[in-house]
Amino acid sequence: MNEDSKYYAGVDIGSVSIKAALVNGRRLMAYELVASGGSYRAAAQKVLDSVLAQAGLNPERLSGIVVTGLGNESLPFPARQISDISCQAMGCHYLFPSARTVIDIGGQFTKAAKITPQGRIADFLMSEKCAAGSGRFLQVIARILQVKLEDIGPLSLQSQKPVEFSTNCAVFAESETVSRIAEGARAEDILAGVHRAMAAKVAMLVKRVKMEPDVVLTGGGGEDAGLVKAVGDALGVKILVPELPRLSAAYGAACLAEIGQGTLNN
């Protein structure tokens, strides 16, 4: 079997969704994304089975797996593990060789990393103490407004007059949202206001890693065009977003498997 026919998989276990990517020579051959649900183990097996099925491969054709993210100790298959930020950095490096800063806005955490021209981590920060600036903030507000997550971005971009929130706290913003609705504020203006408040918090984190262009935004946040615009405005730079923003860490994990990185976990 020659090198060309070798396939590698990356599995990214997140708090909201579990992702898998299958690569061959860094080319993305298949991907899958499912809700994390109650069992990471079952969901991880499901995404891996799915990418293999999509590519029409037997499991033994897989030359290596790298797993990243949360709870990777309970996997049903042998895999090497690498931290999610290293996978994210490598994925972004291959997708955008000019990337020097990576912002990942996930369901619960927001991370900012400065990366080298080789796709290695130079500096890294994570916000885990406060929901402001995380995807959770948006979920809370979208629930009150009864707006579907995928509609948040397009709606926010229509805003002419973003609401100014007096608070950064997700809990206080929730009650402020209710007051603003009572005062007649429009959903798009509230969402654009939330995007601005979040972007301010994200920008603080990104500036602390001494941002350099180009800046890539990944994670579920990358699927929200309103948030991407607000972060770009707050940082004063153009933001690059992968075609599949939630898949970039899984893709990076698969690429790292291909170059033989990571330590075997079982």
Instruction: Enumerate binding residues for another protein (CB under 8 A).
Output: 108, 128-131, 136-137, 140, 167-172, 175, 179, 182
Angle at 155 between CA 227 and CA 36, to 5 degrees: 60
For another protein, the closer of residues 89 and 132 by Cβ is 132
Task: Compare residues 28 and 173 and give the one whose CB is closer to another protein.
Answer: 173
Q: CB burial class (10 A; 0-12, 13-18, 19+) of residue 168?
A: middle
Residue 60: other Cβ atoms inside 10 A: 6
The smaller minimum CB distance to another protein, of residues 22 and 145, is found at: 145
Q: Toward another protein, which CB reaches closer, 16 or 55?
A: 16
- Least separation in angstroms between residue 43's CB and another protein is 17
Residue 206 CB, nearest approach to another protein (Å): 20
**Residue 223: CB minimum distance to another protein, A:** 21
* Nearer CB in complex with another protein: 168/261: 168
Pairing mode, if any, of strands 80-81 and 263-264? Answer: antiparallel
Q: CB of residue 167 vs another protein: minimum separation in angstroms?
A: 7
Q: What is residue 9's three-state secondary structure?
A: strand
Task: Confirm if 160 and 192 have CB atoms less than 8 A apart.
Answer: no
What string of H, E and C letters represents the secondary structure of 99-145?
CCEEEEECCCCEEEEEECCCCCEEEEEEECCCCCCCHHHHHHHHHHH
Least distance in Å: CB of 39 to another protein? 13
